[in-house]
Amino acid sequence: MDFRKIEWIFFLVFIGLNIFLFSIYWNNQHEQSLVTNSNQREDIIHRLENDDIEVKGQVSDKQQEGYYLSAEQDTFDSLLNEGANPTIKGNWSISDKVLTNSYPNADTEFDLKKSTSSFNRLMKNKEFIMDGEEYTYMPDISKKDDELGKIIGAQSYEGIPFIDETSRVTLDIVKSDDDQERVSKYTQTRLKEIEPLREKMTLYSEKEILNTLYINNNIPSKSTITNIYLGYFRTLEVREKNVYVPVWFVKIKASDKTTQIEKVNALNNQVITNNLVPKVENP
């Protein structure tokens, strides 16, 4: 008998058997991964329910993309340099990179029931505000009631807004004597020279960061998660430049009606709620 031929037969059988076993192993691993991921997704929702924690709306497992960003805060020097004939009207002043403008008698009507359209209309008015077209109405962080409102807008970068006081327009809404809602005052901060420090990165999802908050005991039992929203937040100040990262904001209403807002870094899934912004004077 040809031993050479027998060796080849055994070799081919051995290769075929290994391929067969590897395919079974890969399929099992793939199915186990799907089951594990499914259990993780179900587990956080189930655990929240077990602690009587209600979540308003759907919680997404979609992974978005974002950047490390750098930006410089505008000092509004261009407005100061306009001298006796400034572009914007009103009683404005600038202090610590914040522009404040009040309108005691001017016609600045606002309809709180149509906040988006009212906000957009005012932002297009170059006599009302500088660079207003850069700001988008932010309902998640605005406040409204029957008597007054704090309407907030922010700049954005590739669709993700800055949820940070260095990039914000806040309109104070009051009712006048004729019961008309109007803007009595606004404050404005603005970022310029916004640029990415690294390439775009994949962000943790809403479900993943909720799991992190839960296992770190940041979500009280018998509470309600009312809002989850994503925005760039300042984490470092280096001389005139700021560094921003995408952050998930989770608004939680406790059983005693108090409200807390938890913050989770969307790039590394770490809770940063109580972190201070470090300043580096001489990098």
pLDDT in tens, 15-41: 554 444 344 434 444 443 333 343 444
The rounded distance, in Å, linking the Cα atoms of 265 and 235 is 10
Residue tagged 């006048």 (tokens): 176
- pLDDT, tens digit, for every residue of 158-173? 999 999 999 999 999 9
Instruction: Kindly provide the b/e burial profile for residues 158-183, where b requires at least 16 CB atoms within 10 angstroms of the residue's own CB.
Output: eebbbbbebbbbbbbbeeeeeeebbb
Helix axes 3-50, 206-215, angle to 10 degrees: 70
Q: Which amino acid is at 277?
A: V
Instruction: Kindly provide the b/e burial profile for residues 187-220, where b requires at least 16 CB atoms within 10 angstroms of the residue's own CB.
Output: ebbbbeebeeeeeeeebbbbbbbbbbbbeeebbb
pLDDT at 224 over 90: yes
The rounded distance, in Å, linking the Cα atoms of 59 and 226 is 11
pLDDT at 92 over 50: yes
pLDDT band at 154 (very low <50, low <70, confident <90, very high): very high
The reported pTM is: 0.81
- pLDDT, tens digit, for every residue of 94-133? 999 999 999 766 678 999 999 999 999 999 999 999 999 9
From 1.10.287.1080, 2.40.128.690, 3.40.50.2300, 1.10.10.60, which CATH number describes the 43-67+197-280 domain? 2.40.128.690
- Do 73-192 and 43-67+197-280 fall under one CATH topology? no
Q: Which superfamily, per CATH, for 73-192?
A: YycH protein, domain 2 (3.30.310.160)
pLDDT band at 93 (very low <50, low <70, confident <90, very high): very high
Check if the beta carbon of residue 67 is closer than 8 Å to that of residue 230.
no
Report percent pLDDT > 90 for the chain. 63
Runs of H (alpha helix) within 51-89: 77-80
pLDDT of residue 40: 47
The rounded distance, in Å, linking the Cα atoms of 220 and 225 is 10
The rounded distance, in Å, linking the Cα atoms of 127 and 131 is 10
The rounded distance, in Å, linking the Cα atoms of 41 and 50 is 15
The rounded distance, in Å, linking the Cα atoms of 79 and 99 is 10
Residue spans of the domains in the chain: they are: 43-67+197-280, 73-192
The rounded distance, in Å, linking the Cα atoms of 260 and 105 is 37
pLDDT at 4 over 90: no
